[in-house]
Amino acid sequence: MTETKRPPSMTPRAIARREAIAKARSEGKCLDCSAETTFGKNDEYYMVHDRLWLRANPQGHGKLCIGCLEKRIGRTLRPRDFKDCPLNTSFFGKSDRLVSRLTGLTEDLVRQLKAVRARSTARAAAIKLLSD
Ligand SMILES: [Zn+2]
């Protein structure tokens, strides 16, 4: 008998979705260090200007984390290296390092600002709870 057991939740559509996620995960890996750039809590998913990108990565396709891109170009990224697009203006879920490069703030200041935001969110939730 070759019948395999599978959980009832694994429909062909669920299997296809799982495979698509695995493919996206592998395509999102940094070409140099294999860190995931587009999944997780500290994304480094961004767009720099084409000239800079092609200088760092002449083949054009693939992804690089901030550290490996900086290693390839031999310097730290600056806000003007990034394209003016929605991907680069939404900071939610992005790594401190990427937000630092996008804004020109130090990573330490980015961490402090995130902590302030987390505290004010918690405070707002507590105030809502107490006023209900
Ligand atoms: Zn890398």
State the distance from the centre of ligand 1 to the C-alpha of 119, rounded, in angstroms.
31
The pLDDT tens digits of the residues spanning 19-77 come to 887 877 777 899 999 988 887 667 999 999 999 999 999 999 999 999 999 999 999 99
Written as one letter, the residue type at 62 is: G
Q: How confident is the model at residue 13 (pLDDT cuts 50, 70, 90)?
A: confident
Structure-derived torsion over alpha carbons of residues 38, 111, 52, 20, reported in degrees to the nearest 10:
0
Which alpha helices (DSSP H) does 1-132 contain, by range? 12-27, 50-56, 66-73, 86-89, 96-103, 107-131
Residue type, 41: K
Rounded distance from Cα 122 to ligand 1 centre (Å): 33
Q: Give 3 Cα–ligand 1 centroid separation in angstroms.
A: 42
Distance 68 CA to ligand 1 centre (A): 4
Q: How many whole angstroms separate alpha carbon 68 and alpha carbon 65? A: 5
The single-letter code of the amino acid at 27 is: E
Which pTM does this prediction carry?
0.76
How far does the centroid of ligand 1 lie from the alpha carbon of residue 20, in Å? 22
